[in-house]
Amino acid sequence: MRVLLIGSGGREHALALKISKSSLLDKLFIMPGNPGTKQVGENIKINLSYSDKILQFCKDEKIDLVVIGPEQPLVDGLGDYLRSAGFKVFGPSQKAAQIEAHKSFAKHLMKKYNIPTADFIEFNSDEYENAVSYLKKSKYPLVIKADGLAAGKGVLICNNYDEAEKSLKEMFMDKVFGTSGEKIVIEEFMEGEEASILAITDGTDFTCLPSSQDHKRIGDNDTGKNTGGMGAYSPAPVVTNDLLSQIENKIIKPTLAGMKNEGYPFSGCLYAGVMITKEEPKVVEFNCRFGDPETQVVLPLLKGDFLKLLYSSANGKLDKNAVHYSEGSAVCVVAASKGYPDLYQKGFEITGLDLNDKKIIIYQAGTDEADEKIITNGGRVLGVTAVLNKNNLKEAREKAYEAIKEIHFEGMYYRKDIAVKALNR
């Protein structure tokens, strides 16, 4: 099979590495890729906004499967465009990607199909006064979310009215999230522990990969600003077998059925971010693609043929048995640039990447190459991941932290408490 993978982050390095191990693979291209993906396939530098050039590439290279990693090209309709030209694509249609692109779409869907989530109300930017009156009579804390895509930063948790009014002003008046903040969703605050569930689906059937937990805040003990994700581990012990079947039956199944019923069948990877509350698991958010950095810990734990799974989803007939998980633990610690998620500098040389340890995978995310050196080129630079073939999160955590000590670049920052929550249970 000739495969084109779209994207350039740590998630795509993880996807590329896993796809490269398939016996079905003939040739793997990554567009645009990064120095990490170059180790397992051929990087192709085509700007993702030129869909006609991507289509021409697929024709020239006789691509059998396109796998779209990030949300933006899915939301822009790249999948539909390539499918309409006859190519097989892993990833949802533009219409189905609304489940991530518009929080209000996801909330209305959940309400209509009785899928557990926080109560909510929405306002448009021309309803500022109504939103203020609502905030005045609300209970705190509450959560204000920009409706559109905001790279994981469009969610503001407000502890009192003053904070909420300030957040509202930022979204509606200062337009800090641009058009993504023209509509907002105000939500009840949910208490509990979070987990991520990745369901691979053909629109009807689905299979859930091992659970994981992300660490969204920049600081230890979940303090400071939200980021794209500072580390992850899998499986997440908070997701017991009983909880997983509740999530499958009360969240994934009705969501897929609802999407189909609305005329937007969802195929690809449905990411459910869930809050395990005292009452039941409730949806925090849906994403229309693999999580980052969750993918970096989930994929190495899978046995079987991952490419076969992806192809069967794209082909509309899911092969649930293509992969399975029996045991193993993985922990990923993200090395970030000083200053992230705000402004940071790029271009610093990274050393220590040649670590030779079968249990360690160093995923590259925000990296580039210059003068035969690997340099920093983003906020989240690396995902240093330990993978054990037995269940031992404690040991995996220790191994990941031992490995990251060997890696250096100027201003390197990482959280010291990845997976601590799992060990304290």
Here the tokens at position 228 are 């794209």
CA distance 31 to 12: 10
Least Å distance, CB 92 to ligand AMP, is 18
Residue selected from 34, 207, 267, 287 as contacting ligand GLY according to rule CB under 6 A: 287
CA distance 256 to 209: 16
CA distance 202 to 256: 10
Least Å distance, CB 180 to ligand GLY, is 15
Answer with the entry of ligand GLY, ligand AMP, none that 202 interacts with (C-beta below 5 to 8 A by kind). Answer: none
Element (DSSP H or E) covering residue 281: strand 281-287
The beta strands (E) that lie in 52-177 are given as: 65-68, 89-90, 120-124, 142-146, 155-158
Distances (CA, A) of 264 to 62, 85, 92, 215: 28, 20, 9, 31
Here the tokens at position 201 are 């689906």
- Please identify, using beta-carbon distances, which residue of 215 and 397 lies nearer to ligand GLY: 215
- Please identify, using beta-carbon distances, which residue of 190 and 269 lies nearer to ligand AMP: 190
**Residues between 150 and 189 that touch ligand GLY (CB under 6 A):** 152
Residue selected from 229, 258, 328, 378 as contacting ligand GLY according to rule CB under 6 A: 229
- Please identify, using beta-carbon distances, which residue of 211 and 226 lies nearer to ligand AMP: 226
Q: Is 404 in the site for ligand AMP (CB under 6 A)?
A: no
Task: Count CA atoms closer than 13 A to 309's CA, side-chain side.
Answer: 26
DSSP string, 163-176: HHHHHHHHHHTS-T
**Residues between 292 and 351 that touch ligand GLY (CB under 6 A):** 292, 294
Residue selected from 65, 97, 190, 198 as contacting ligand AMP according to rule CB under 6 A: 190
- Contacting residues for 112 by C-beta, under 8 A, at least 6 apart: 258
Interface mask toward ligand GLY for 232-261; x: CB under 6 A: ------------------------------
Least Å distance, CB 18 to ligand GLY, is 17
Q: Is 187 in the site for ligand AMP (CB under 6 A)?
A: yes
Look up residue 183 and give its amino acid: K
Q: Is 222 in the site for ligand GLY (CB under 6 A)?
A: no
Interface mask toward ligand AMP for 97-126; x: CB under 6 A: ---------------------x--------
Q: Answer for the pair 381, 365: CB distance below 8 angstroms, yes or no.
A: yes
- Contacting residues for 365 by C-beta, under 8 A, at least 6 apart: 9, 10, 13, 34, 36, 292, 334, 378, 380, 381, 382, 383
Residue selected from 210, 291, 300, 383 as contacting ligand GLY according to rule CB under 6 A: 291
Q: Is 147 in the site for ligand AMP (CB under 6 A)?
A: no
Residue selected from 3, 97, 155, 323 as contacting ligand AMP according to rule CB under 6 A: 155
Q: Is 226 in the site for ligand AMP (CB under 6 A)?
A: yes
The interface region with ligand AMP, picked from 93-101, 189-197, 263-271, 363-371 by CB under 6 A, is 189-197
The interface region with ligand GLY, picked from 59-67, 253-261, 288-296, 314-322 by CB under 6 A, is 288-296
Instruction: Of 410, 398, 403, 369, give the one whose Cα is nearest residue 383.
Output: 403
- Contacting residues for 374 by C-beta, under 8 A, at least 6 apart: 35, 349, 350, 353, 364, 367, 368
- Please identify, using beta-carbon distances, which residue of 267 and 287 lies nearer to ligand GLY: 287
Answer with the entry of ligand GLY, ligand AMP, none that 118 interacts with (C-beta below 5 to 8 A by kind). Answer: ligand AMP
Instruction: Of 258, 273, 263, give the one whose Cα is nearest residue 95.
Output: 263
Answer with the entry of ligand GLY, ligand AMP, none that 189 interacts with (C-beta below 5 to 8 A by kind). Answer: ligand AMP
- Contacting residues for 67 by C-beta, under 8 A, at least 6 apart: 3, 4, 5, 6, 15, 19, 89, 90, 91, 310
- Please identify, using beta-carbon distances, which residue of 273 and 304 lies nearer to ligand AMP: 273
Instruction: Of 96, 365, 124, 322, give the one whose Cα is nearest residue 206.
Output: 322
Q: Is 214 in the site for ligand GLY (CB under 6 A)?
A: yes
Answer with the entry of ligand AMP, ligand GLY, none that 143 interacts with (C-beta below 5 to 8 A by kind). Answer: ligand AMP
Binding site for ligand GLY (CB under 6 A): 152, 214, 229, 287, 291-292, 294
